[in-house]
Amino acid sequence: MINFKSILIALVISIVGFNLSYSQTQEKPNILWIVSEDNSPLIGAYGDDFATTPNIDKLAEEGFLYTHAYANAPVCAPARNTIITGVYANSSGNSNMRSNYPKSEEIKLFPSFLRKAGYYVTNNAKEDYNITQEQTRDVWNESSGQAHYKNRTPGQPFFAVFNTGLSHESSIHEIKASKDLRHDPGKVKLPPYHPDTPEIRHDWAQYYDNIEDMDNWVGAKLKELEESGETENTIVIYYGDHGGVLGRSKRYVYETGTRVPFIVRIPDKFKHLWPNESPGSKVERIISFVDLAPTMLSIIETSVPDFMQGEAFLGSQKEKDEPEYAFMFRDRMDERYDMSRAVRDKKFRYIRNYLPYRIYGQRLDFLWRARSIRSWEETCLKGDCNDIQQVFWNTKPTEELYDTENDPWEVNNLALDPEYSSELLRMRKANLEWMINIKDSGFIPEAELVDMAGKQAIYDYMRTGKVPLEDIIKIAEKMVMVCEKDIMEVASYLKSDDSAIRYWGATGALILGAKAIPLIPELKKMVNDPSPNVRIVASEALYTLGEKNAGRIGFRSALKSSNSFARTHALNAIESVGDNSDEMQEAVIAMAREAGKLVRDSYDHRAAKTLLDKWKIDPNKYGIKYAW
């Protein structure tokens, strides 16, 4: 006789057991990152009616759209370093573009925490973390063009990253025929700082085509997730890795370089992770890339380690008090030295420029491959640019302040407007406190810092107590706003035992210009300074004072340095002062010829190429070969 009671009990146990097993494997959500390169929020969901982005727009309708999301750096490698570590790259010593310095052993890459928690972690496929490749080797279960969450053990939660270069800056280098454009160049709404030229309109239209292609790719990734049956178990995060790509966006700490699209979709079963809003809502909380690592750990309920400098914005460790600011930084971009820091609240953006004697639009090999930037430069050189369009080719003010609500393209600098003095002082103070707190390594010139740290991670070196960093930062703050009455103070810094203080003292002399005449004797001594960076800035200051022969001594010496970053710095300065004398040309040729072959990521050689091209010197005549 059939015992129905026993069968029923067995069936219940079976069902409960299955559900327990399933809940144990799926108690933590899958996390899928969909990442596009080099795009600001040129997305329909962000109000851009020229964009064709139905897939991302639909994702926003189903999830949460963050209105104030920022890359901490406006270029990929430092931005990605900040993401993967949860530490600002200017704190860890990895803020200079593709410098690949070793990271501190104290700093762990966040996917390793997920892997330890049982996640299958994959990356497809770009890393570009600005650290030595050996230090990323054991982070992922798989990091390649074939990496995929489908390769995991059945039931195992996954963290998977998929990255596309369809919207990358290089996508406008190869010019698409006008007849093939899907977006009409004539309908592009140009920013006020771009002159209205056919080349600029074409690049903008082609870029919108690329954004549309990227959106289709996003749609394919979402469809793939749905077909896998994992949609209801998976948090999806879509974001751009920084802004871009037309001139004055990528590489610059404006909205166009740092504000990114950022959308999170969280299934109903994990609604306890929702922000205070409901799906389809906009979230105004300020977030930035430094917050991503702690947020991922918070979502999976793993303790956020003390070394991380960001704040979780989702999960059990979410910071209840919303941050008032996001912080951003810019240091060397490929072969061009510049240094800026930025602070953003929900209304204003503050920028502080530490090399105000450099123009914004320094010629950079990769950027100049786009027709649009060349067209912009040529138009202004012909005198056909208005005042706003010309600013990019001028030297910078030390401070910039923009009301981003009323001036979204950031062309009306309010820093000198008394009406906004309270905002200026408040954000200036926030910037200073942040830099001191994180131990900003950017205040030590790169060549100097590399030599001082040796094989030690820069993050660790900055915490040895050997660097009087707070004093250096405060001196730098003073020197970039130096006045004639400060000349005795500048003179004292030129005699300091600390090379970084001498560097910033020489910077003060350079900014003073003709007012620094009393400092000429001391500056002449400094062309033989032990620090090549000090020699270079002192030499450039001497040029502004008419002492070219003395300045050339420092430049020639720096070009012979064993440190490639010192050579790059010298070449930047030589181009800036416009010295095309036979003596300087011979020194640059000798430096380039010494290397034999100029490799792609050797930035001193890129800078040398620019000078040789400007001087119309045939490199083949001197046996100089380029690798690109």
Please identify every stretch of the chain with a pLDDT value under 50, giving residue numbers as ranges: 1-2, 4-26, 599-601
Same domain as 619, residue 504: yes
Cβ partners under 8 Å of residue 476, min gap 6: 354, 443, 504, 507
Same domain as 591, residue 476: yes
Q: Could you tell me the sign of the dihedral formed by the alpha carbons of 306, 308, 314, 319, in that order?
A: positive
Same domain as 300, residue 267: yes
Same domain as 48, residue 97: yes
Task: Please identify which of the residues 76, 380, 385, 483 carries the catalytic annotation.
Answer: 76
Torsions phi, psi for 2 (to 5 deg): -75, 130
pLDDT confidence of residue 23 = 38
Tens-place pLDDT, residues 29-60: 999 999 999 999 999 999 999 999 999 999 99
Work out how many domains the chain is built from and give that number: 3
Same domain as 493, residue 379: no
Same domain as 358, residue 277: no
Of the residues 331, 361, 395, which one is the last residue of a structural domain? Answer: 331
Q: Where are the beta strands (DSSP E) in 331-461?
A: 340-344, 348-353, 399-403
pLDDT confidence of residue 597 = 53
Tens-place pLDDT, residues 323-336: 999 999 999 999 99
pLDDT confidence of residue 201 = 98
- How many other β-carbons are positioned within 10 Å of the β-carbon of residue 274? 17
Of the residues 424, 450, 480, which one is the last residue of a structural domain? Answer: 424
Whether 18 is in a domain gets the answer: no
Whether 557 is in a domain gets the answer: yes
Which residue from 450, 446, 447, 498 is spatially nearest to 475, judged by alpha carbons? 498
Whether 208 is in a domain gets the answer: no
Same domain as 617, residue 544: yes
Any long-range contacts for 52-56 (C-beta under 8 Å, 24+ apart)?
52/182, 52/183, 52/208, 52/211, 52/212, 52/215, 53/211, 53/212, 53/215, 54/215, 54/219, 55/215, 55/216, 55/218, 55/219, 55/222, 56/215, 56/218, 56/238, 56/261, 56/263
pLDDT confidence of residue 596 = 55
Whether 195 is in a domain gets the answer: no
Whether 192 is in a domain gets the answer: no
**Tokens for 134?**
């050996």
How many residues comprise the chain?
A: 628
Bridge partners, residue 32, by sequence:
160, 236
Cβ partners under 8 Å of residue 142, min gap 6: 122, 123, 148, 151
Whether 1 is in a domain gets the answer: no
76 is catalytic: yes
Q: What CATH number has the domain bearing residue 137?
A: 3.40.720.10
Same domain as 548, residue 448: yes
Which residue from 577, 588, 587 is spatially nearest to 611, judged by alpha carbons? 588
pLDDT confidence of residue 479 = 98
304: left (phi over 0), alpha (psi -120 to 50) or beta: beta
Tell me how far apart the alpha carbons of residues 495 and 108 are, in angstroms, rounded to a whole number. Answer: 40
pLDDT confidence of residue 499 = 98
Same domain as 159, residue 277: yes
Of the residues 380, 396, 424, which one is the last residue of a structural domain? Answer: 424
Same domain as 586, residue 459: yes
Q: What is the SS3 assignment for 552-564?
A: HHHHHHHHCCCCH
Cβ partners under 8 Å of residue 562, min gap 6: none
First to last CA, the chain: 85
Containing 449, the helix (H) or strand (E) segment is helix 446-453
Whether 417 is in a domain gets the answer: yes
- Domain residue limits at 170: 24-175+216-331
Q: What CATH number has the domain bearing residue 485?
A: 1.25.10
Whether 205 is in a domain gets the answer: no
Tell me how far apart the alpha carbons of residues 121 and 118 are, in angstroms, rounded to a whole number. Answer: 9
At which residue do the structure tokens 């998929």 appear? Answer: 162
Same domain as 452, residue 368: no
Which residue from 13, 59, 5, 7 is spatially nearest to 36, judged by alpha carbons? 59
Same domain as 487, residue 451: yes
At which residue do the structure tokens 């490698």 appear? Answer: 77
Single-letter amino acid, residue 59: L
